[in-house]
A and B are shown apart, each in its own frame.
Chain A
Amino acid sequence: MFETLKQQPADKILALMQMYKEDPRDTKIDLGVGVYKDATGLTPVMRAIKAAEHQLWETQDSKVYTGLAGDPAFGDAMIDLVLGDVVPRANIAAAATPGGTGACRQAFELIQMANPDARVFVSNPTWPNHISMLGYLGVEVVHYRYFDEETRGVDFDGLIADLKTAKKGDVVLLHGCCHNPTGANLNSSEWDEVIKVLLETGATPMIDIAYQGFGDGLDEDAAATRKVVASVPECIIAASCSKNFGIYRERTGLLMVVSADSSAQALNQGTLAFLNRQNFSFPPDHGARLVTMILNDPALRADWQAELEEVRQSMLGLRKQLAAELQRLSGSDRFGFLAQHRGMFSRLGTSPEMVEALRVEHGIYMVGDSRMNIAGLNAQTVPILAKAIVDTGV
């Protein structure tokens, strides 16, 4: 029976990783996959995670199932981290999911269940898996203008014009911070405008927040999400712990659905549990438990925040160094956007041919749309990259 299957498109990033491995040049730089790496190119286990795992190993006396929506304590801790006390806890339904991807997938299924005709508005570009999952589920995707190829910032007028075409029953998917793949983000007053459009159209916002703490700080990165949640009657939030806790393979995420009152919350909570049950019964617990322990233990939390802040500062430092080096070599300010962008990624904004030339001639590996993982750099490789960019004529 399986002869009917067709070849699925290969994941471009994973193919790129393979090519990088096979490249013999010692000046090669991997800016591909979306994983944080320190100056030595490693993705270490965070100190607080190690400490929590040690504690857990000593104290955990059972591996019996948690609830369908995961351990409620995980939901409480993450709601506090992401939303603070902006809305009453009683208005929020929450379910643990396998990573942020799982949270998005469950959210899309929830949307489809609530309104089979819903269209989901996504930024152009967005994380490719958003579009892939929506397409797989058969949900109509509408692209709204986002990245301005000229300024490498946000095409705000285009974005607003496109979002105004949404209507009640549609969903507008927004990146809470550190936009993936561009690195270009809305400022606070632009978020105000987006909120006004959401209220005018009645469309429901869905916020994907996968990099909280990687941009301007934990609370700063959550500010836009909180502002949206504070302003609209209903909102979906998909949060990931992969990056900010560095627990990628543990698959730790949380889907939150905020409703206007607590009676709607009960229905949403039941639906989230049902959806988990259909897809995997119980969500993974190990990562969620570690996150809960860290967030609820002042000492572990302080250590985690300190290490996360080092990560954030190191990426910010690399951005500034790269922008300065490019300014020195090119004699122009046109790369200043790299220092303005936030998060792990920046879209260089160049053609696939240039990206190819950077790879073939200089051993610089980035995704074809010219997304660079800033964390793939270190102080020594920044000048190599800057020279390659200028020499290639980007």
Chain B
Amino acid sequence: MTDDPKTLVSTEWLAKHLKDPDLRVIDASWYLPTEERDPKAEYDAAHIPGARFFDIEEISDARSSLPHMAPPVEKFMSRMRAMGVGDGHQIVVYDGAGIMSAPRVWWLFKLMGQENVAVLDGGFPKWLAEERPTEDMPPIPRDRHMTVRFQNHLVRDVTQVAHASKLGSPQIVDARAAARFRGEAPEPREGLRAGHIPKSRNVPFGTLLNADQTMKSVDESRAVFEAAGVDMGKPVITSCGSGVTAAVLALALERLGHHDWALYDGSWAEWGMFPTVPIATGDA
């Protein structure tokens, strides 16, 4: 793969730059409740040297009833300042699954106007497999100011998605597993209907990854989207269960040069409980 500090970097790249004074590493691990993993406890036990823990549940919009929605700008600024992450930093985000929740935090930084943010390809599992160094002490952060410019074009709400669903453009692409997309497997959150947003296409995020949890090449990724029936001539809205793995699709799209994408933050957690919006079941 080609290292790109704005999208995806390899473990070799990170190892080489780990001591750069303006590099900030972030552990953005997050798991579904059913996985019974405690990301903070795992971070406390071992993380990439210097990494800060980014709590996706805490750094969110506390006033929303939906799970971990993007936080207000000011809250994001405040939390980043406390973490010592700010202007002039190159940020690298990883997670403990390989590539699962790290792209969500990559997206949050993009949403807040930060450009120099990359996901670590293969994440912590690959880092560990290569026997690279870890530590169990959190860094001592020094305050750093972050100038935030909210990028409206990178996020979509239910009204905009309903519009897209009706018109068939932008193309909605859903990152959930095929059985959930078809409405055959139960939703992990209670009270949600089963199925998908009408006229959406299904690209389960795992289909964009290799066996070692690294991202497939640009050409392979493009083929995955096309095979799922995604019209790559259209802008894309990515969606999933709660707006986490939708960011894996966004990252893949960004890498293959399809820059006209946005993420549906409410995702199925919102669409699935809205009685007024239609749902479809079965294949796309």
A230 near B75: Cβ-Cβ < 8 Å: yes
A195 at the interface (CB under 8 A from B): yes
Interface residues of B in 74-103 (CB under 8 A from A): 74-75, 77-78, 81
Taken residue by residue from 57 to 79, chain B's Cβ proximity to chain A (1 for < 8 Å, 0 otherwise) reads as 00000110000000011110110
A219 to B62, CA, bound (A): 13
A140 at the interface (CB under 8 A from B): no
B143 at the interface (CB under 8 A from A): yes
A223 near B74: Cβ-Cβ < 8 Å: yes
B193 at the interface (CB under 8 A from A): no
Shortest Cβ distance from residue A176 to the other chain B in the assembled complex, whole angstroms? 12
B145 at the interface (CB under 8 A from A): yes
Shortest Cβ distance from residue A264 to the other chain B in the assembled complex, whole angstroms? 14
A87 near B78: Cβ-Cβ < 8 Å: yes
A199 at the interface (CB under 8 A from B): yes
Contacts of B73 in A (CB 8 A): 223, 227
Q: Which A residue sits closest to B147, measured CB to CB?
A: A192
Contacts of A230 in B (CB 8 A): 74-75, 77-78, 81
Cβ-Cβ contact count across A and B, 8 Å cutoff: 41
A85 to B148, CA, bound (A): 17
A229 near B78: Cβ-Cβ < 8 Å: yes
A223 to B75, CA, bound (A): 10
A107 to B74, CA, bound (A): 24
Contacts of A260 in B (CB 8 A): 143
Q: Which B residue sits closest to A85, measured CB to CB?
A: B62
Contacts of B148 in A (CB 8 A): 192
Shortest Cβ distance from residue B245 to the other chain A in the assembled complex, whole angstroms? 26
Taken residue by residue from 118 to 159, chain B's Cβ proximity to chain A (1 for < 8 Å, 0 otherwise) reads as 000000000000000000000000010101110000000000
The count of residues in chain B whose C-beta lies closer than 8 Å to any C-beta of chain A is: 14
B145 near A196: Cβ-Cβ < 8 Å: yes
A196 to B78, CA, bound (A): 14
Contacts of A360 in B (CB 8 A): none
Q: A192-B147, A195-B145, A199-B145 are in contact. Are A84 and B81 (CB under 8 A)?
A: no
Q: A84-B63, A85-B62 are in contact. Are A227 and B147 (CB under 8 A)?
A: no
Tell me which of A85, A87, A227 has the highest count of chain B C-beta atoms within 10 A of its own C-beta: A85
Contacts of B72 in A (CB 8 A): 84, 86, 219, 226
A227 near B145: Cβ-Cβ < 8 Å: no
Shortest Cβ distance from residue B236 to the other chain A in the assembled complex, whole angstroms? 28
Q: Which B residue sits closest to A200, measured CB to CB?
A: B145
A86 near B145: Cβ-Cβ < 8 Å: no
Q: Is the interface of A mostly helix, strand, loop or mixed?
A: helix
Contacts of A189 in B (CB 8 A): 149
Contacts of B145 in A (CB 8 A): 195-196, 199, 231
The count of residues in chain A whose C-beta lies closer than 8 Å to any C-beta of chain B is: 18
Taken residue by residue from 297 to 329, chain A's Cβ proximity to chain B (1 for < 8 Å, 0 otherwise) reads as 000000000000000000000000000000000
Contacts of A233 in B (CB 8 A): 143
Interface residues of B in 140-194 (CB under 8 A from A): 143, 145, 147-149
Q: Which B residue sits closest to A230, measured CB to CB?
A: B78
A271 to B63, CA, bound (A): 32
Taken residue by residue from 33 to 73, chain B's Cβ proximity to chain A (1 for < 8 Å, 0 otherwise) reads as 00000000000000000000000000000110000000011
A231 to B145, CA, bound (A): 6
A343 to B78, CA, bound (A): 27
B147 near A86: Cβ-Cβ < 8 Å: no
Shortest Cβ distance from residue A91 to the other chain B in the assembled complex, whole angstroms? 10
Contacts of A199 in B (CB 8 A): 145
A226 to B78, CA, bound (A): 9
Q: Which B residue sits closest to A233, measured CB to CB?
A: B143
Q: A230-B81, A231-B81 are in contact. Are A84 and B147 (CB under 8 A)?
A: no
A186 to B143, CA, bound (A): 25
Shortest Cβ distance from residue A102 to the other chain B in the assembled complex, whole angstroms? 26
Q: Which A residue sits closest to B76, measured CB to CB?
A: A230
Interface residues of A in 214-231 (CB under 8 A from B): 219, 223, 226-227, 229-231
Tell me which of B74, B81, B147 has the highest count of chain A C-beta atoms within 10 A of its own C-beta: B74
Contacts of A223 in B (CB 8 A): 73-74
A195 to B145, CA, bound (A): 9
Partner of A227 from the list B62, B77, B143 (CB cut-off 8 Å) is: B77
Tell me which of A87, A219, A231 has the highest count of chain B C-beta atoms within 10 A of its own C-beta: A231
Q: A86-B72, A230-B77, A231-B78 are in contact. List 9 more A-B contacts (CB 8 A).
A: A84-B63, A85-B62, A86-B75, A87-B78, A192-B147, A195-B145, A219-B72, A230-B75, A231-B77
Nearest 6 interchain pairs by C-beta? A230-B78, A226-B74, A230-B77, A230-B74, A86-B74, A86-B78
Identify the A interface with B (CB < 8 A): 84-87, 189, 192, 195-196, 199, 219, 223, 226-227, 229-231, 233, 260
Identify the B interface with A (CB < 8 A): 62-63, 72-75, 77-78, 81, 143, 145, 147-149
User: Can you name 10 A-B pairs with beta carbons within 8 Å?
Assistant: A84-B72, A84-B75, A86-B78, A189-B149, A195-B145, A199-B145, A226-B72, A229-B78, A230-B74, A230-B77
